[in-house]
Amino acid sequence: MRIKKLELKNFRGFEELVIDFPEGESGLAVFVGVNGSGKTSVLEGILSLLYTYYYELFKNEKVINGDYRNFEYCSIGDRLTDFHFSVYISERKLTIEVQGKEISIINELTNYAGSISISKLTNPWINKFVTEDNLIKIRESLLNNISVFVYYPAKRAITQDLSLKARDISAIQPINVYLGAFAQSINFNDFFEWFRSFEDVENEQIRAKGNAQFRIKELETVRNAISKLKLLEAVTDFRVQRQPHEDFILEKNERKLSIKSLSDGEKMLIALTGDIARRLNIANSELNNPLEGHGIVLIDEIEQHLHPDWQRKVVKSLRDTFPNIQFILTTHSPQVLSTLKKENVFILDNFQLVQDTPHTYGRDSNSILWDIFGVEKRPPESKEIFSKLYRMMDDPDKVEETEALLRDVEERYGYYDEEVVRARGQFEFLNED
């Protein structure tokens, strides 16, 4: 399951946008731009379409929650226009069209000879639509080949009132992979409750078998994912504490800690990695290694709460841990971009796709800040101080004033600051005896 192409027309701020996703195995796409440029709208365009499509296919199972059917139109002049958006997934094209009050979902099978429409739903959310026989076949096909799809919005956090209640896991089916996948905020309680419930089963088996080393596959999938994520190498042996109060306990550098005591970055990576692994396990329980399952994961602001060093490593770590997942991300981080090839980076400017993307791979953060985000190396005030210093150096009558300003600059920015070192060298060269 891969998104190959996205078309948005009159959706949110986009009049028209066409994105061809990278053709490599990963299909990784990272969207960057200033606030309000349209990054999150791209993710929500994909989300809205897939939500509507999956909702109509699986609404009887009641696993698709949230509501992305209240579409926001794009205003052209003083009127609201019709709109459509399409996403190409593998050999299938899904389209939503709005014309006046008529809303349609069109599903097409694409091949080299063109496109053949095989199903169309009209006005689906007021239940006035005709489902063709092919739609039933599509539904059955999807149920037999479940792929993970999940959106992690910027509003994601582990709350202090973490829920660890046990659930009935006997009725879990592959379709349950979509529970909470389309939410507009996430607190990861589904993951922690799932973990606790399967740990109850594991503990029962340990007692029954008299084998303290026994482990069940469901939890081992999650444990392997978190241990494989190299950023969390110091974190091991996580489990649910029942007494004297419920908590999610882990070992970090040989110390037992509550997950609540970790940094926000550590908590987020544990929960996000664990939740993806949980969903892959639900969808691919028959695989020897569910972490090799396929799917699409959208993450808004991937760098959220992470130290700059972790920002530089997080994308590769996720791709290594989940090799067959297509990650579609947004970021403001030059550290993230410095690890990405040009073909994986998409720059948005005022709801327009910038056609000429500069290289970012291996570059320093300052050059990326300038080339991609238009951010100067130094704040304007500091830049002006150095400009004044260099102007004064050109005046032979202001040697003492220049040296005084240079000492002030050294005290302000540090003796070993790159620009301070350059200024000191130039001053000494100009004033050699």
Per-residue pLDDT of 282-293, as tens digits, reads: 988 888 899 999
Rounded to the nearest integer, the mean pLDDT of the chain is 81
Same domain, 118 and 209: no
Q: Buried b / exposed e across 110-145, counting CB within 10 Å, b at 16+?
A: beeeeeeebbbbeebeeeebeeeeebeebbeebeee
Q: What is the pLDDT of residues 118-156, one digit of tens each?
A: 344 444 433 333 345 555 555 666 666 678 899 999 988
Same domain, 57 and 141: yes
Q: What is the pLDDT of residues 154-213, one digit of tens each?
A: 988 887 778 888 787 877 888 888 888 888 888 888 899 999 999 998 989 899 999 988
Q: Looking at residues 261-281, what average pLDDT do you find? A: 92
Same domain, 363 and 416: no
For the chain, how many structural domains are there in total?
A: 3
Same domain, 137 and 162: no
Name which residue leads in pLDDT, 405 or 106: 405
Does residue 241 form part of some domain? no
Q: Looking at residues 51-71, what average pLDDT do you find? A: 65
Q: Looking at residues 374-385, what average pLDDT do you find? A: 89
Containing structural domain, residue 41 = 1-145+333-375
Same domain, 371 and 384: no
- Quick check: 107 and 131 in contact, CB under 8 A? no
Q: Using 50, 70 and 90 to split pLDDT, how confident is the model at 393?
A: very high
Report pLDDT for 229. 84
Same domain, 208 and 135: no
Same domain, 371 and 385: no
To the nearest 10°, the Cα dihedral for 215, 218, 220, 223? -130
Q: Looking at residues 105-122, what average pLDDT do you find? A: 43
- Quick check: 64 and 55 in contact, CB under 8 A? yes
